[in-house]
Amino acid sequence: MKNSILITVPKGLAQTCADEVKALGYPIIRVGTTGVETEGLYPDTYMLNLHLRTAHHVLYMIRYFRCETPDDLYKNVFNIPWETMISVDEYLSVVSHVDNPTITDSRFANVKCKDAIVDRISRKKGRRPDSGPDRTGVLINLFWRGDVCRIYIDTSGEPLSKRGYRKNPMGAPMQETLAAGVILAAGWKSTEHFVNPMCGSGTLAIEAALIGINKAPGLLRNNFGFMHTMLFNSEAWTEVRKKAIALIRRPIPGQIIATDISPDSIDAARQNAENAGVKDCIKFAISEYDQTTVPEGNGIIMVNPEYGIRMGNESELENDYRGIGTFLKHKCQGYRGYIFTGNTTLIGKVGLKSKRKIPFYSGQIECRLYEYELFAGKRA
């Protein structure tokens, strides 16, 4: 029987993630603000973890039940046959999200849930698994709202945004899942060019390259939460990986160009791209943003300048935003221009009328992806 699978996403990316889930052949049961619900069997979580670019966690539901007090929680969790799912030699962690009047500290719910699990395993097996806060083994998620509890296995473990390639983030980088979501929202195709001035540590260019060659982001990781349960089928996982590898296509028809004025940033971006296995797909260069080479043809120019919130000073950034507008207007005709920023004041300095404003969140900062249609003409 298929179980509910809840996919958590950063705020603003739920519909994009739902489109990804649907493209993989899974039904969409519900789309919320920060989550997408589908259904499937445990091995289906392998595919979702491997391929989803905008998801944070893939949670596989074990059970839901009515629950009013901590004692109810303990009894119901204890009745779940954990001995068939968690080995005594594994390491167990529990995280919880609680909105119940009997609980004032979610850590108390963590302890009650964890105690019920290890007590059950100890009774059935004569020994209990180690447990603690490190999310390196089996990770259980408890969602308790009102009088309803839902218990999930977090089949991702670490967030899927941690692809593993960004060893040197440089400054305040865009999260990998957000970068992928922004590129997907822009509708970039690998037959087009992708130009990324002010590339920083290269996240946008690297995510574009992964999309361009159709490389599943999960291929960059060797550890997922689903591997640590007794439900894990290593042969099925090997087959899913093998099929994903067969889908990779090279070379990319269009060019991906990433530039930055900082040599250190370009060095870091090159290393990150090498870690991701896409260094050969990206042309890196040390350059002022407005001196970035824009190939003939069409594609997108995507710039993620400082916002003046976490980095930089707003007044000092006004000239940069004006300059970006001039660069887009005079040197990028025939392309679609995009500026990703969390500063609605500075974006007004660009001097171009946006065609679309797509909302996103970078952490807690409300941002927008501004799209500009740059009509073809003679470049300056």
Check residue 309 and give its pLDDT.
62
How do residues 292-349 score in pLDDT, each as one tens digit? 999 999 999 999 999 876 555 777 799 999 999 999 999 999 999 999 999 999 999 9
Tokens describing residue 349: 């300095």
pLDDT at 379: 56
CB 64 within 8 A of CB 6: no
pLDDT at 106: 83
**Pairwise CA distance, residues 180 & 176, whole Å:** 6
Peptide bond into 251 cis (omega under 30): yes
Q: How far is CA 164 from CA 65, 161, 276, in A?
A: 36, 9, 8
Give CA–CA dist 356/338, Å, rounded: 10
Which are the contacts of 118, defined by CB distance < 8 A and separation ≥ 6?
92, 128, 129, 131
pLDDT of residue 312: 53
Contact 86, 138 (CB under 8 A): yes
pLDDT along the chain (380 residues), means of 10: 95 96 98 97 98 98 96 97 97 94 88 96 96 91 95 97 87 89 97 97 97 98 97 98 97 96 96 97 98 96 85 77 96 96 94 96 93 77
Distance set, CA 269 to CA 200, 208, 248, 340 (Å): 7, 13, 22, 19
> In the chain, what are the domain boundaries?
3-154, 176-217+250-373
Q: Are 206 and 276 a contacting pair, CB within 8 Å? A: yes
Q: Which amino acid is at 110?
A: N
Residues 6+ apart with CB under 8 A from 222: none
Q: Which CATH topology does 3-154 take?
A: VC0802-like (3.30.2130)
pLDDT value of position 311: 53
Q: What is the pLDDT of residue 271?
A: 96
Question: What integer pLDDT is reported at residue 376 of this predicted model?
Answer: 72
For residue 332, what are its two tokens? 């990028």
> Which 3 state secondary structure label does DSSP give 207?
helix
What pTM value is reported for the model? 0.94
Q: What is the structure's pLDDT at 128? A: 94
| Domain covering 176-217+250-373, topology | Rossmann fold (3.40.50)
Distance in angstroms (rounded) separating the CA atoms of residues 214 and 101: 47
C-alpha 142, offset from chain centre: 21
Nearest-angstrom CA–CA distance, 349 and 170: 26
Q: What is the pLDDT of residue 107?
A: 87
In the prediction, which pLDDT does 377 show?
A: 63
- Cα separation, 55 vs 282, in Å, equals 24
Q: Report the alpha-carbon distance of residue 246 to residue 213 in Å, rounded.
A: 11
Query: Contact at 8 Å (CB) between 162 and 91?
Result: no
Question: Distance (Å, rounded) from C-alpha 33 to C-alpha 35?
Answer: 6
Give the type of residue at 158.
E
Give the count of beta carbons closer than 10 Å to the beta carbon of residue 143. Answer: 18
Instruction: Give the CB-side neighbour count of residue 342, counting CA atoms within 13 A.
Output: 17
Radius of gyration of the chain (CA): 23
* Residues forming a β-bridge with 261: none
Instruction: Check residue 168 and give its pLDDT.
Output: 77
